[in-house]
């Protein structure tokens, strides 16, 4: 039986060892990567159990994690007393049912972003957690732990470059599934920038517009790229270029413009190569190398119960803004975002 935990903390492990046994649901790219980090790079945790609809994947990750139990029923994993906390890394649309089951079992859960792809789904999760009465849910907005973004936030707090005015974000993936719904660029990818904008400025997004040029010939009918223009309640403008078929590599960067200075977040690898008339740096193929340290810090924070991760409210808020952006994309109009007031549970 799990004791009351606050906020989103993983409880002390069973057996008095202090080591927490984590159950992972979804052992694809992210589930496997989190399992690797929990096993080799995070202290105080082991992978205790895994479940995936694809049994072979689950077995592979269990083997690589030192022989974790392979469950055939995800709800049995959640209910198992030997599992102290659950990490959900299955596909977006499945998050809600698993998070709700974790809350019903009183079990801490780290859910990959988005908390749920729809506002209704996020609202049902908020209702369940607020009825439970304490925070169990952490959402995997790992950029909050990325050293580049935390430097930007610390710099703003010093006042050295004055008050923020604009944030220009670039978010590019090499390739997406052909014909992917255009809304996914917002709900699955740009949702990171929606969260980072709220977190960096400690401000709500109050208005959104989305522009799309002609789509790339590589996008298979998806509206790609897109340009989101977000305005915060205090009047900061955050624009997001999201381009998921950029082909050349994975890249996330931004420039913060403030009243007396600017700051650029780039994450070039430390080594550059000069040859054949080129001066080049390699770009990663996906998010794992780019945000490796952020994932490690996010997991360590969760295991330690330090509570710096995004809450279910942050997950709700990001999806709430994402939904307004989807409407803006579809209609070509601007939308005012009327965020509901923050429930008491998340005001502390
Ligand atoms: N924070 C980040 O930077 C980041 C990066 C990539 C993906 N993600 C998120 O992580 C999640 C997983 O993404 P991925 O890239 O690993 O995808 P993936 O397709 O590689 O893996 C998803 C896995 O979930 C399994 N699955 C599907 N439905 C399931 C169900 N009902 N129950 C259990 N397992 C199920 C699939 O078999 C697959 O193995 C997604 O929600 C995605 O948005 C987050
Ligand atoms: O699911 C992934 C993940 O969230 C990455 O962090 C993001 O950069 C990608 O665009 C998205 O497709």
pLDDT digit string, tens, across residues 277-300:
999 999 999 999 999 999 999 999
- Band of pLDDT at residue 2, cut at 50, 70 and 90: very low
User: Ligand 1 within 6 A of 134 CB?
Assistant: no
Give the residue among 131, 134, 140 at the shortest CA–CA distance from 8. 134
User: Does 209 lie in the same domain as 342?
Assistant: yes
Q: Is 313 in the pocket of ligand 2 (CB under 6 A)?
A: no
Would you call 145 helix, strand, or coil by DSSP? Answer: helix
| pLDDT at residue 218 greater than cutoff 70 | yes
Residue 239 has pLDDT above 60, yes or no: yes
In sequence order, what are the beta bridge partners of 298? none
Angle value at C-alpha 105, between 102 and 108, nearest 5 degrees: 50
Q: Mean pLDDT lowest for which of 10-24, 40-54, 187-201, 312-326? A: 10-24
Q: From atom 33 of ligand 1, which residue's Cα is the shortest distance away?
A: 52
Same domain, 181 and 227: yes
Cα–Cα distance measured from residue 150 to residue 171, given in angstroms and rounded to the nearest whole number: 18
In a domain, 126, yes or no: yes
Asked whether residue 4 is domain-assigned, the answer is no
pLDDT of residue 80 exceeding 90, the answer is yes
Residues 138 and 204 both lie in one domain: no
pLDDT at res. 1: 31
Same domain, 188 and 336: yes
Q: Which of residues 118, 142, 166 is at a domain's end?
A: 142
pLDDT band at 13 (very low <50, low <70, confident <90, very high): low
User: What average pLDDT does this structure show over 94-99?
Assistant: 98
**Cα–Cα distance for residue pair 60/238, rounded to 1 Å:** 41
**302 in any annotated domain:** no
Mean pLDDT across 80-90: 98
Q: What is the pLDDT of residue 270?
A: 81
Q: What is the CATH number of the domain that holds 60?
A: 3.40.50.720
Residue 91 Cα to ligand 1 midpoint, Å, equals 4
Ligand with an atom nearest the CA of residue 250: 2
Shared domain check, 120 and 176: no
- Report CA(188)–ligand 2 centroid distance (Å): 7
Q: Edge-to-edge, what's the strand order for the sheet holding 251-258?
A: 262-265, 251-258, 164-172, 237-243, 226-232, 205-211, 335-336
In this structure, the residue with its CA closest to atom 18 of ligand 1 is 28
Residue 298 located in a structural domain: no
136 and 166 in a single domain? The answer is: no
Are residues 102 and 152 both part of a single domain?
A: no
The answer to whether residues 264 and 172 belong to one domain is: yes
| Model pLDDT for residues 162-214, shown as the tens digit of each residue | 999 999 999 999 999 999 999 999 999 999 999 999 999 999 999 999 999 99
Q: Tens digit of pLDDT for each residue in 121-154?
A: 999 999 999 999 999 999 999 999 999 999 999 9
Q: Is 300 within 8 Å of 43 (Cβ atoms)?
A: yes
Q: Which helix (H) or strand (E) holds 5?
A: none
What is the total count of domains within the chain?
2
Classify residue 303: in a domain, yes or no.
Answer: no
- The share of the chain scoring above pLDDT 90, in percent, equals 93
Neighbours of 240 (CB within 10 A): 26
State whether the beta carbon of 173 lies less than 6 angstroms from ligand 2.
Answer: yes
**Last residue of a domain, which of 95, 121, 142?**
142
What domain range is 56 assigned to? 14-142
Ligand 1 midpoint to CA 92 (Å): 7
Across the chain, what does the average pLDDT equal?
Answer: 95
DSSP 25-68: E--SHHHHHHHHHHHHT-SSEEEEEEE-SSHHHHHHHHHHTTSP
* 333, pLDDT greater than 80: yes
The CA distance from 40 to 306, in Å, is 20
Residue 321 in domain:
yes
Least confident among 5-19, 36-50, 264-278 = 5-19
Any ligand 2 atom below 6 A from CB of 189: yes
Co-location of 206 and 111 in the same domain: no
Residue 338: cis peptide before it, omega within 30 degrees of 0: no
- The domain that holds 166 is classified in CATH as 3.30.360.10
pTM: predicted TM-score of the whole model, two decimal places: 0.96
Look at residue 93 and tell me whether its pLDDT is greater than 60.
yes
Q: Give the C-alpha separation, 347 to 130, whole Å.
A: 12
Please report the pLDDT score of residue 16 as a whole number.
Answer: 58
């Amino acid at each position: 039986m799990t004791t009351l935990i606050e906020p989103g903390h993983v409880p002390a492990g069973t057996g008095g060892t202090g080591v927490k046994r984590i159950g992972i649901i979804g052992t694809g790219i992210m589930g496997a990567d989190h399992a690797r980090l929990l096993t080799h790079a995070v202290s105080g945790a082991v992978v205790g159990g895994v479940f995936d609809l694809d049994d072979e994947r689950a077995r592979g990750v269990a083997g690589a994690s030192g022989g974790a139990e392979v469950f055939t029923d995800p709800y049995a994993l959640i209910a198992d007393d030997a599992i102290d906390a659950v990490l959900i890394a299955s596909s977006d649309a499945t998050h809600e049912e698993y998070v709700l089951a974790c809350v019903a079992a009183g079990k801490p859960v780290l859910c990959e972003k988005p908390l749920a792809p729809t506002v209704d789904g996020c609202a049902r999760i908020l209702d369940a957690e607020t009825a439970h009465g304490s925070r169990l849910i952490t959402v995997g907005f790992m950029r909050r732990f990325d050293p580049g973004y935390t430097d930007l936030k610390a710099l703003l707090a010093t006042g050295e470059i004055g008050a923020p005015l604009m944030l220009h974000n670039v978010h590019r993936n090499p390739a997406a599934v052909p014909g992917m719904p255009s809304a996914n660029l917002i709900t699955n990818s740009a949702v990171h920038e929606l969260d980072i904008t709220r977190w960096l400025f400690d401000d709500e997004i109050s208005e959104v517009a989305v522009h799309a040029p002609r789509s790339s010939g590589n996008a298979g009918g998806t509206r790609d790229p897109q340009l989101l223009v977000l305005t915060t309640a205090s009047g900061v403008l955050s624009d997001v270029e999201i381009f998921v078929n950029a082909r050349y590599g994975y890249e996330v960067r931004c420039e913060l413009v403030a009243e007396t200075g600017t700051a650029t977040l780039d994450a070039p690898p430390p080594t550059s190569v000069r040859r054949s008339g080129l001066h080049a740096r390699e770009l990663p193929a996906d998010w794992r190398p780019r945000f490796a340290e952020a994932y490690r810090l996010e997991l360590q924070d969760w295991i330690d119960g330090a509570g710096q991760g995004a809450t279910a409210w942050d997950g709700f808020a990001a999806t709430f803004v994402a939904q307004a952006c989807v409407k803006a994309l579809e209609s070509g109009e601007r939308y005012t975002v009327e965020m509901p007031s923050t429930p008491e549970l998340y005001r502390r």
